[in-house]
Every structure is written in structure tokens, then in C-alpha cells.
Amino acid sequence: MNSASTSAAFILLLRRDLTLAFRRRAELMNPLLFFVLVTALFPLGIGSSPELLKAIGPGVIWVAALLASLLSLESVFRSDFEDGTLEQFLLCAHPVSILVMAKVLAHWLVTGLPLLIIVPLLGVLLDLPGDSIKVLMLTLALGTPVLSLIGSIGVALTIGLHRGGMILSLLVLPLYVPVLIFAANAVETAAAGLPITAHLSMLSGLLVLALSLSPLATAAALRVSLS
């Protein structure tokens, strides 16, 4: 199978998943609404002190983004598993890891990218300074793809289980912790006027590692789950 046909299959699958996602607008909006509501309601519970909001705001936004990503993970493979399309992916001549990348990219475009776009408004709501909001957006741009890539492995392992949502959470949440730590600390460090090169390097390294290993691991997990 030549690279041109594989690239065409990647683009077609990406377009298909995006089309299906936009046809289910209610499901598409759920993670975004969850993200906004959790972030907006948090000040009501702890108070509206500007100093407090500046201190905890980045952590709140990142935890909300992590949970919103987790909320939408099952949609990556669930519909394909239920209608039998997933089995056809495993039988086709194209590398399964490439098809997995197309589905993960579609998931990030409909869940991670909207979170990234709306973050400046939530940053203003939490009274974060402009520099902190810029760093927060940069960490989300590096970190949310990692969440989707890691999450795809957990979804592939639990796709055949009835009500596997709890098991999925237990599998992926510990793997999300390094992303959360480095991303939230990067914003706090930037707010203190210190360099954040090390934090961004770690997030970039995690992204490269996830891009390299996650599609292969997800493809193997799908074969195990459907065997």
C-alpha cells in the first residue's frame, strides 16, 4: 500500500469523523459546556478574591480541561465499535496506527481546540493577567493533544466492556498527572516572572512521546479488544 493511498485514507477518515461529530451537535457541545460551567462556578464556591483566583485559576482551568477531555473520550471509537466499522479498520490494508491518528486528531479538533479557543474568556473571568493567559493557551496547545493520545489507548482497551467508563478513568487519569503538573506549574512560574523553558520542554517531550507511541499502542489494544 503506497503512501499516497494511505494519506488519502487518513484525510477521508478525518473528514468522516468531523462530519459525524458536527451532525451530533449536542454531544459536541457537552465537553465545552462542562468546561465552561466548572470554571465559571468555581469562583462562586471559593470566593472572588482576585489574589486567590490568580493563584488557583490556572490549576482550575487545567483540571476542568482534563475532565472535559475525559468526558468525551468514549466517543473516539464507540460508534465505530457498535456499527462494526472498527473491525473493518483492522482488516483493511492501511496501517491501523495511521487510521487511529486520524480519529484522535478528529477528537482533538472537536474537543481540545474549542477549549483552547475559549480559554482567554475564562482567563479574564478568573482575573488572570495577559501573560498568564498566553502561557496557559500555550500549555493547552501542547497538553490537550497528549490527553487525547493517551486517552485513545484507554478507550481501545475498554471498548469491549459494558460500562467501561469507570475503568477508563482509572486507566488514564494517573497518566494525565504529569501533563497537569507541568502545565499548571508553567503558568504559575510565568506569573512569578521566571523562565518556563523547562516546563514547555517537558510538555513538548510528552507530546512527541505520545505521538510516537500512542497510535501503535492503541492499534495493538484494539486488536486485543476485538480478538
What string of DSSP letters covers 146-193? HHHHHHHHHHHHHTTSTTTHHHHHHHHHHHHHHHHHHHHHHHHHHHTT
Residue 1 has pLDDT above 60, yes or no: no
pLDDT digits (tens, 9 = 90+) for 30-47: 888 889 888 888 877 776
Residue 121 has pLDDT above 60, yes or no: yes
> According to the model, what pLDDT value does residue 49 have?
75
Cβ within 8 Å of residue 123, ≥6 positions away? 57, 61, 132, 133, 136
Place 146 in a pLDDT band, splitting at 50, 70 and 90.
very high
> According to the model, what pLDDT value does residue 211 have?
93
Place 224 in a pLDDT band, splitting at 50, 70 and 90.
confident
Cell of 37: 460551567
Q: Whole-angstrom Cα distance, residue 117 to residue 41?
A: 19
Least confident residue range of 76-80, 124-128, 183-187: 76-80
Cβ within 8 Å of residue 131, ≥6 positions away? 190, 191
What pTM does this model have?
Answer: 0.89
151 and 221 Cβ atoms separated by less than 8 Å:
no
1 and 87 Cβ atoms separated by less than 8 Å:
no
183 and 140 Cβ atoms separated by less than 8 Å:
yes
> According to the model, what pLDDT value does residue 164 have?
59
Place 203 in a pLDDT band, splitting at 50, 70 and 90.
very high
Q: Whole-angstrom Cα distance, residue 186 to residue 191?
A: 9
> According to the model, what pLDDT value does residue 2 have?
64
Cell of 165: 467508563
Average pLDDT across the chain, whole number: 85
Average pLDDT rounded to a whole number, residues 54-63: 85
pLDDT digits (tens, 9 = 90+) for 62-99: 989 988 888 888 778 877 777 777 788 778 778 888 88
> According to the model, what pLDDT value does residue 59 have?
85
Place 201 in a pLDDT band, splitting at 50, 70 and 90.
very high
- DSSP, collapsed to helix, strand or coil, labels residue 193 as coil
Place 225 in a pLDDT band, splitting at 50, 70 and 90.
confident
42 and 60 Cβ atoms separated by less than 8 Å:
yes
| Choice between 92 and 184, residue whose per-residue pLDDT is larger | 184
